[in-house]
């Protein structure tokens, strides 16, 4: 079956909001074996929205819309769908009670304009919103389906996963193919390097294909297998994954939803090891990423943003003469920061990071993007010199990625 996604909102067209809903829905539909060939973004305009829906129904079996279900006058999705389907709007008392209960729970006076969200087209299936106020709607028009979902991702995503997914699985029944994906994440290698290693796999044709995607400080390979038989799809995905692992080895740090920080935290915890981080140019980003992992208190002891040289000296024991001789951004200072941090925190491992994140502060000998990352453990001290490109935030992220990968490979 074919599906189409319509994202509604003038703010999307103006670039005020990034359209993450389309990506989410496409991924979920692919997981159900439903092909998505078109995505459309349209503003809060009834005429243009009507045209977009009619065009979508001509070429797709399922149309999923997000946005325009709010209580304000520019939320036109419900009225547009009702007019298109030739149905009148009727008050749904269950939805109205849900709305009143929602605002009572928040201890806010009930906004009268919110009553608009309780009026839905007659004889239309609806989906309860467990997070916000706007209900979802399902229109069955002959052999076509229109599903309208709220725009806010925190409302739309759980609604799809809890209700829409089950509805679609039942709707498509035996016609549903099994679409199995596996995302393999790689650190420490450029996209061009990975491309050379797996070029033959990237040239594979359906039903099993491999795609390559570059992210900041990371390369991902996505295996996609689509077969009528789920066991065949899983077997083909596993076969290709085995080949990729054989070629890329330790460059692979995670699969699917895992992150580099979650892998590092899990690895340290499993070995009963502790870590502390002394950061200058990354400003606490490495510590933040590790502590974003639930349970990281088992391995993470402390983080210190030693931005000023005086703090490097007073708290980390970095010698002032060392800074004067080599500069705060140097291999020697990064190493001293890591050693001092391990001594201060009493951990098994410590990281020290110093660099120039830019956009100012660089020189010919020490340009913007120059970062030194050191790891200190009981048995060894390692220092990496890195030269990153990008904005200040991008340089900080890349430095944090290299630091975490250095830990992963040396515990």
Residues 323 and 358 in one domain: yes
Residues 17 and 141 in one domain: yes
Residues 103 and 200 in one domain: no
Residues 30 and 171 in one domain: yes
C-beta of residue 246 within 8 angstroms of C-beta of residue 221? no
The Cα–Cα gap between 340 and 278 comes to 9
Residues 11 and 142 in one domain: yes
Residues 10 and 136 in one domain: yes
The Cα–Cα gap between 93 and 91 comes to 6
Q: Which of 255, 273, 297 delimits the end of a domain? A: 255
Nearest Cα neighbor of 318 from 374, 360, 370 is 374
Q: Which of 255, 282, 301 delimits the end of a domain? A: 255
The CATH number of the domain holding residue 152 is: 3.40.980.10
Residue 26's H or E segment, with its range, is: helix 20-31
Q: Which phi and psi (to 5°) does residue 35 adopt?
A: -80, 135
Residues 376 and 282 in one domain: yes
pLDDT digits (tens, 9 = 90+) for 184-239: 999 999 999 999 999 999 999 999 999 999 999 999 999 999 888 889 999 999 99
pLDDT digits (tens, 9 = 90+) for 271-316: 999 999 999 999 999 999 999 999 999 999 999 999 999 999 999 9
Q: Please state, rounded to an integer, the average pLDDT across all residues of the chain.
A: 95
Report the SS3 class of residue 321. helix
pTM of the model: 0.80
Within a 10 A sphere around the Cβ of 147, how many other Cβ atoms? Answer: 24
Residues 313 and 370 in one domain: yes
């Amino acid at each position: 079956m074919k599906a189409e996604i319509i994202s509604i909102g003038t703010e999307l067209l103006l670039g005020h909001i990034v359209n993450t809903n389309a990506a989410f829905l496409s991924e979920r539909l692919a997981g159900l074996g439903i092909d998505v060939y078109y995505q459309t973004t349209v503003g809060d305009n009834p005429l243009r929205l009507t045209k977009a829906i009619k065009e979508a129904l001509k070429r797709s079996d399922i149309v999923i819309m997000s946005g325009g279900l709010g209580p304000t006058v520019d939320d036109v999705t419900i009225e547009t769908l009702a007019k298109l389907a030739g149905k009148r709007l009727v008050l749904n008392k269950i939805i109205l009670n849900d709305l009143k209960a929602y605002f009572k729970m928040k201890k806010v006076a009930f906004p009268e304009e919110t009553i608009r969200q309780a009026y839905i087209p007659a004889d239309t299936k609806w989906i309860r919103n467990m997070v916000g106020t706007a209900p979802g709607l399902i229109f069955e028009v002959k052999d076509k389906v229109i599903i309208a979902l709220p725009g806010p991702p925190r409302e739309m995503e759980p609604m799809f996963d809890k209700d829409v997914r089950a509805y679609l699985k039942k709707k498509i029944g035996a016609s549903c193919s099994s679409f199995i994906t596996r995302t393999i994440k790689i650190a420490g290698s450029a996209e061009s390097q990975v491309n050379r290693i797996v070029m033959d796999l990237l040239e594979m044709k359906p039903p099993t294909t491999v795609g390559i995607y570059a992210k900041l400080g990371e390369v991902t390979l996505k295996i996609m297998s689509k077969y009528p038989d789920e066991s065949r799809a899983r077997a083909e995905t596993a076969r290709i994954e085995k080949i990729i692992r054989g070629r890329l080895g330790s460059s692979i740090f995670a699969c699917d939803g895992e992150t580099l920080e979650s892998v590092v935290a899990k690895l340290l915890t499993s070995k009963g090891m502790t870590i502390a981080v002394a950061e200058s140019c990354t400003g606490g980003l490495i510590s933040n990423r590790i502590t974003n992992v639930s349970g990281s208190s088992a391995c993470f002891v402390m983080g210190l943003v030693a931005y000023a040289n005086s703090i490097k000296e007073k708290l980390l024991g970095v010698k002032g003469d060392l800074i004067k001789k080599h500069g705060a951004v140097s291999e020697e200072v990064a190493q001293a920061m890591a050693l001092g941090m391990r001594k201060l925190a009493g951990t098994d491992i410590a990281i020290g990071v110093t660099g120039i994140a830019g956009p100012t502060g660089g020189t010919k000998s020490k340009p913007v993007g120059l970062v030194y990352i050191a790891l200190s453990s009981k048995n060894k001290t390692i220092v990496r010199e890195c030269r990153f490109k990008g904005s200040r935030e991008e340089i900080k992220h890349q430095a944090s990625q290299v630091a975490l990968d250095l830990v992963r490979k040396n515990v």
